[in-house]
Each structure stands twice: as C-alpha cells, then as structure tokens.
Structure 1
Amino acid sequence: MRILFLGDVVGRTGRDVVMTRLPGLVSDWALDLVVVNGENAAGGFGITEAIYEEIRAAGADAVTLGNHAFDQREALVFIERADALVRPMNYPPGTPGRGAALVETRRGGTALVVNVMGRVFMDPMDDPFAALDRALDGMELGRVADAVVVDFHAETTSEKQAFGHYCDGRASLVVGTHTHVPTADHRILPGGTAYMTDIGMCGSYGGVIGMDKEEPLRRFTRKIGAGRFEPATGPASLSGVAVETDPATGLAVKIAPVRLGGVLEEARPTFWEA
C-alpha cells in the first residue's frame, strides 16, 4: 500500500499548496491512502466544515486534528457527521467526534487512522499510550486492517519517540505532528513500523511555525503582544512523509520525506518515480 501523510495545514497558504499539489500526487504516485492533518487549516486555528470538505475533495481519505480541534466552534457539531475527521482519541469521554476511523483505500483495502495527543507541555489529557491500546483492540494490523496509521500530535521529541517505539510492530506508520518543523529521522523501526518525529507543515516557512513573523518576534522580544497570530504568506511548502507497506503484513518496507515547493530543499520518494 502506498501512503502519503501531510503535516499540519496552516491557513490559506497551506490550503492552497495542498489544493494545487495533492491531486497530481495522488495520480502520479498511484497513492492508496492520503491522510492530512488539518487542525490549523482555518486561519491557523481549527477547521471548518467547508475547509474539511475542500481537503477531502483534493484527495485526503482522512483528516486528523490536535489541540486546536475545536477552535472553530462549528467543529463541535459537524465533526459528528464527518466520518473521516479524526480528533485526538484521548480527549475526555463525551467529547464530540471520534479518535479513530476505519477508511476504505483506493484499491479496496481498509486502513485504520488513529489520532492521539501527547501530554508533555500540552493541555492535560488522558493517557495517550492507553488510548492507543484501546484504538488497536480488535483491529490487528494485517488481519482486520490492511494498514494502521497513527498521528501523534505532541510537543516533545522524547514523548514522540517513546510513542513510536510503543507502536512498533502494531502500526504501519506513526507520524509526529504539531511542531510544524520536519525532522530528519524518518526510518523504519525494528518491528516494521515507519516513523518520523515530525513531518512538518503545509504552509509558508517564511514565518514562525507558519505564522507571520512580526507578532511572534514582538512577543519574544517585548513580552507584550500587539495583536493576534496570522498565517504567514509567501511561497508555501508541502511537507509530509511517504510510506510503502508490505501487503501481506501491513508493515512498512519503504519510507521517504516529502517536501515540495517553497523555501525548503525538495525531497520526494524516488522509489515511486518513473
């Protein structure tokens, strides 16, 4: 199975690069499954139903969220009818939506997409490791699900790496999201799970983690904010990771970073290139 996971979409700039690039990648790379983190898609904070549908129409089979999941209040309502919109599973009981979704891939397979949020330097949440166990209960990789893809939305590299090892052998792919900066540690863990600590963002790297640089600079240098954060403009990068799995086991056999457009050095999965 060919899987593409795109990092946090930040504002209109991020949405535009996804709308422009993703449909062609689905075709050119013969992708089976596309997952996109959309928690910053609406002006940098949350997601609306219209934006969710826009990302889905561009080629996303599932859209994951994070700590900004409900910044747009309408998400509290529409998430119930958006079957492929996945918020962190370890939100408290009673939170609207779902923490995992079983989706059909383009060639008729099934993929379990799970979203979990870390606790270090984040809002207090239920245990993410226990939440992952609940998500995988009865959903064994290679038996019930042809692929298991996990978005671990967390702040620290240590918690993300620990979570990757905890999932090793039980998931096809574990990606870290939230910090918006792609790391250089993409690899396949000993048990066969593809892993990357942070897959970066889809947006402008000319600012500060996707936001126009002026307001963050004011807050860092003067400790006094002068306004709200606004998404950065300028050339945007599409950032994520590409993975190919073994159809017999669902475990990963190939992994490569994806960085297209903008100011970052380009990276693409050469194993899918003609």
Structure 2
Amino acid sequence: MGDVVGEEAAGWLADRIGQLRDEHELDWIVVNAENGAVTGPNPMDGFGMTVEIVDTLLEAGVDAITGGNHSWDGPDVDKILAYPQMVRPLNLDEERGQGLLTLRGNTTLTVINLLSPTAELPGMAAPKPHPLWPSWQEITAEHDLTGPTVIDLHGESPWEKASFAAALDGQASAVVGTHTHDPTQRGHVLPGGTGYVTELGMTGRLGHTGGGFDPMHFVAKMRGEDYTALPAYTLAKGPLALGAVILDIDPAGATTAITRIA
C-alpha cells in the first residue's frame, strides 16, 4: 500500500485492513506510511510518522511499515525507527532502525526499503542515500534473499525505477515504486519473474494534483518564490482513496500476478 497521507487516512486504512485481508486472503500487508503526519511548518520537514499513527496501523494488522525520504522527520523518529515492524531505507549510512525485515509465518516474506537519490531534497533530515545498483550488489552479497522478497523503491524517476527492476529481474520477487503519489495503472511481470509497479499511489484524500495535499509549496518553488515562508501543508479535501496492489508470489519467489485494488 502506497504512501499514507495524513492521520485521517491512517485511521481509514486501519478500519479496512481486516476486511481487505479476509476478502483477498492476504498473507502479508506492507504499508508505506512516511507521510502519515504533518509534523512541521517547513516544507523540508513537512511530513513524517508519529507513534500514534504507527500504533494505529500495526494494531489493525499491518505487518510491516516502510518509509522513504521522510523516515527521519517528526518528533518521534527514534521511537519509530525502533519498532521491529518498521523498515527504513537500507542504502545509506544510518545506525538507527533496519532497512530489511523478514516476516515469518505460514509463508515468509523479506521486505526491503530503498531510497533513490532522486528523492533526496536539500535540507531534509534523511541521510544521503547511496546509488541504487552498487547498494543492491552489496545487499545481495550480505543477505540470503532466497524466497519471496519485495522492494519498496522510494524514488522520483519512472525510468530509474523501471531500469532498476529490469536490472535485478529474477533476483527479487517485486519492485514497487513509491514517493510520487499518483498511481500508475499497469503492473508488469518481467521475464525473470520480478513483478514491477512504477508507482503504488498514495492512500489519502484526493484533490489538487493527486498528492493528497495542497501543492502550494511546490507551486511557489516552481515560480521561484519563498515557499519556506508559507504555512504548513494542508491536506486535500476530496474522497479517500487507496493506492495498493496485490502481489501473487509463488513459493520460489516469482511473481505470478499483480492486481490493483482500490
């Protein structure tokens, strides 16, 4: 499930988790929640997560929570990164938290969170990410990734996400893109069995440009105006929407189908 935008969206999603799990017979539910809370007035630290939002999602039955460039924003960073179900981007120098999580039960799933340098913005608290492909080579050398493995790739560029997925085709079960919030329609099963979705989309209120919030900061930046002087982000006012896909993965770790749900 793609970027949860706002506390209300987190509660709305939490109320649906049980129904979605039963209706679709889901083994594991992974949610990107890095935009779960508006945490400050500055656009460079505007979103993040709070303990309350993380607890809401986990208590509802979410198995793992991923992040991105906002994983280090907000007042509860150290507490949040300490959760065993929290997965922060792996490809950077950071002692807090974990970038890889293996979920074990009747089935097993390894979840990896990666942060593209394209999602890095000046002034953000996130550590500088390392380039994706060298990082992936290091990950495969250090970790046994046999069996189902899903990568949340948090990045700006569709071509970069597609190229990365193609480059590791057959080495991971799926690469799902997050960060740009507007969902891409198609899912792809690559020749080697890796599933790929350019952008999961966001989970939150629709409106404006589809990001879940008023784009006035981005508009001001585009115009060359002082966007840091603007008030805090304002969430959109439209209907609530779910950005999500179901991945069917066989025991050997190959994706067999991708289904978008709303």
TM-score norm. by structure 2 comes to 0.86
Residue in structure 1 matching 2:49, options 47, 50, 61: 47
- Percent same amino acid at aligned positions? 33
**Does residue 1:181 correspond to 2:182, yes or no?**
yes
Aligned AA (2:26): L
Q: Say which SS state the counterpart of residue 228 (structure 1) adopts.
A: coil
> Is contact 2:119–2:154 with CA below 8 Å preserved after alignment?
no
Superposed, 1:76-225 pairs within 5 Å as 76-80=78-82, 82-94=83-95, 96-105=96-105, 108-120=106-118, 122-123=120-121, 124-137=128-141, 138-142=143-147, 147-208=148-209, 209-213=211-215, 216-217=218-219, 220=222, 223-225=225-227
1:33 aligns to what?
A: 28
Distance 1:34 1:232 in 2: 25
Matched residue of 2:48: which SS?
A: coil
2:76 corresponds to: 74
SS at match of 2:164: helix
Cα deviation 1:2-25 (Å, max 9, x = unaligned): xxxx00000023213312322200
In 2, are the aligned partners of 1:172 and 1:194 still within 8 Å (CA)? yes
Note the aligned Cα RMSD (angstroms).
Answer: 2.0
Q: Secondary structure at the match of 2:160?
A: helix
Q: CA deviation at 1:47?
A: 0.7
1:13/1:236 contact within 8 Å kept: no
Deviation at 1:30, TM superposition (A): 1.0
Equivalent residue in structure 2 for 1:57, among 50, 59, 71: 59
**Structure 1: 5+ residue stretches without partners:** 1-5, 261-274
Per-residue CA deviation, residues 194-235 of structure 1 (Å, 9 max, x unaligned), is 100101000112133111255555555683443221222331
**In 2, distance between residues paired with 1:167 and 1:236?**
34
Aligned residue for 1:201, secondary structure, equals: coil
TM-score (norm 1): 0.82
Residues 212, 120 of structure 1: CA spacing in aligned structure 2 closer, same or farther, 3 A cutoff? closer
Looking at structure 2, the residues matched to 215 and 157 of structure 1 have their Cα atoms a distance apart, in angstroms, of 23
Q: Would the alpha carbon gap of residues 213 and 19 (structure 1) be closer, same or farther in structure 2, given more than 3 Å must change?
A: same
Deviations 1:32-81 (A, max 9, x none): 0110001001126111122112111222110000000011132124412x
Whole-angstrom distance in 2 between the partners of 1:48 and 1:102: 23
What do residues 108-131 of structure 1 show as CA deviations (whole Å, max 9, x unaligned)? Answer: 222110000111352442122232
Cα offset, 1:140, TM superposition:
3.0
Partner of 2:10: 15
Alpha-carbon distance change, 53 to 219 in structure 1, aligned in 2, over 3 angstroms: same
Consecutive unaligned residues of structure 2, counting only runs of 5 or more, are 39-45, 122-127
Q: Secondary structure at the match of 2:117?
A: coil
